[in-house]
Structure 1
Amino acid sequence: MIYLDYQATTPLAPEARDAMLQWLDGPGGSGFGNPHSPHRMGRQAAAAVELARDRVAALFPAGGKVIFTSGATEAINLAIRGSGSGGSVSYSAIEHAAVIDTAEDAGKAHVLNVAKNGQCNTKQDLPADTRLVCLMQVNNEIGTIQPTVEWHRKAKESNALYLCDAVQAYGKMEVTGADMIAVSAHKLHGPKGIGALWVRSGLDIDEVQTGGGQENGLRSGTLSPALCAGFGAAAQEAKERMERDAEHVDKLWNRAIQLFDGWQLNGSADARYHGNLNIRRKGLDVNRLMSECRDVMFSAGSACASGSGRTSHVLDAIGLSKKQAKSSIRLGWGRYTTMEELEKAAEQINAAAQAQGVLER
């Protein structure tokens, strides 16, 4: 099988797997302790958690604190619900459902429009009562890099906070400044089931889940030393090889543009993470394409919306018709993707599209 769905999840790095194993010991081992226990095994587990926290923090702006969560969705909920009430939450039309649904449920919400190139329009004004602005750094469906620096500035000028969903950027590029940043481990070759919310120094938010008061009194529940260790190892590996990974991704992008010549690109060709290729063909039956290319793992849209029967809200926001959205596919690659795999996948996808009679523009 050829895996080209890196926006949905990434393969677990060997370094992350190795870091996790010692904290999964069964009877007779010493790595299964509760990190919140005061005895020696608990203190050892707690030390592993704090080491992981430092490694995760190294990919964020200097200062601030890292709160471990079950993933980016929980981190986003904590940020939106814990940062206050009253006023409006402004979010871009291409945010992940975790932002959109939480903002809508939390109270008044305002949608920021997006240009056809897939970037949030910086010329629009925020409502006078805006308390929080939410804009992701890299879009998960079309890969467009957003003007986060400008929106952070606009939020400050409006005395509002700024939350950045950096799930697709973290570990791949420098994460830009914000008041709060949400990330997920399994998008940078870490384990599923753990993420984090970074909160800048001087900002206090409220807990939204009561219990034992773990994680600085903001997120109750027993932490998994194994998941934390895996996240930390993945973050450390991403930091050390960020430049190499970026060069590899760029080479694959340049080849993919050649291989898929004749397909229409969705979103900006310039302001884009090069590990994401969202393309379309007029009249393409994507379900049939995926069935005929079953050995190639790729997506017809956001994995989080798979099976919903709805067309992508992101493709709708950049002006695509329902037919155009339904004829779009997303290919994603990264650290462990080989050039040979990409070329074989392109050969299969192009052949299947040609069999449908839609290979030409």
Structure 2
Amino acid sequence: MSTRTMRAIRIHEHGGPEVLRYDEVPIPRPGPGEVLVRVHAAGVNPPDWYLRNGLTRMPGKAESTVTLPVIPGTDVSGVIEAIAADVDDLAVGDEVFGLLRFPGFDGSTYAEYVAAPASDLARKPAGVDHVHAAGAPMAGLTAWQFLIELGHDHPSPFQESRHRSTVIDADTTVLVNGAAGGVGHFALQLAKWRGARVIAVASGAHESFLNKLGADRFIDYTKSRPEELVHDIDLVLDTVGGPDSKRFLRTLKRGGAQFPVLPGDFDREQTAKLGVTVSSAQVRSNAAQLAELGRLLDAGTVHVAIDSTFALADARAAHERAARGHIQGKIVLTVA
């Protein structure tokens, strides 16, 4: 019996975008608890290019689970073509989207088909197409788990204590740094959904975009330093990170909190003196939370912005686009 094959992007050696190869490989078979998804679109996320560049061990993991060649990708939207015998809450023909096997590098969504854990999938909102649905899982769940509900008890590799979200309501002012990016534009909208006043920080090219998403104030970081303009903030969500992240501590009121999405350089004595909290988390696959986000997407309360789309065969160009930065929303691969 001949083996059915598909097209997929694989990494055979680590390096730049040029190492992404468009290969012909066997179609995977769903194992226990899994379904086979015919991929319509796959989101492009930072872990994809971290893997391509040579990062093979997730923070918090004792060792690497990556064996080359590997199919990158974690975000998917598509249609179920087959299900394992023990899956009873999904059916062939269902349109689904999800963040697969994260944290980890074995999502394998840059392909025409993927074997996906049923527990990582939610039904795709009927009013949202596959491209926009594929842009939602990792970025949307990151914003959700930082701001709304963590939703799991797994320890964070970035801190000793469990991440605790803070109350966000009409009395809250939230500053989002990197507000135009994948996580940032979701965070802005979720904070607005909860009634908060939101200050968006990004480059000037994104001002109109962020104002349309509901930002109450926009700061162009190329012209002004946010920490010199705003004070008494309740919450800072910093999607940029790095050694300069600690400058936002000066914008917080006593009792306020800063949530760095990427690891930053913070001094415990300084945060204690300021009377503020710094807390981080590691996003994890969560179908229930994704279903809640899906309802907001279907209602038009939250929107997925698409920076650009590329055919699966053009994954190299998608990663080159990501490397240029200043992304507005999400980059998505489409599968014919």
- How high is the TM-score relative to the length of structure 1? 0.31
Higher relative contact order (CA 8 A, sep 6+): 1
Higher helix share: 1
Structure with larger Rg: 1
- How high is the TM-score relative to the length of structure 2? 0.32
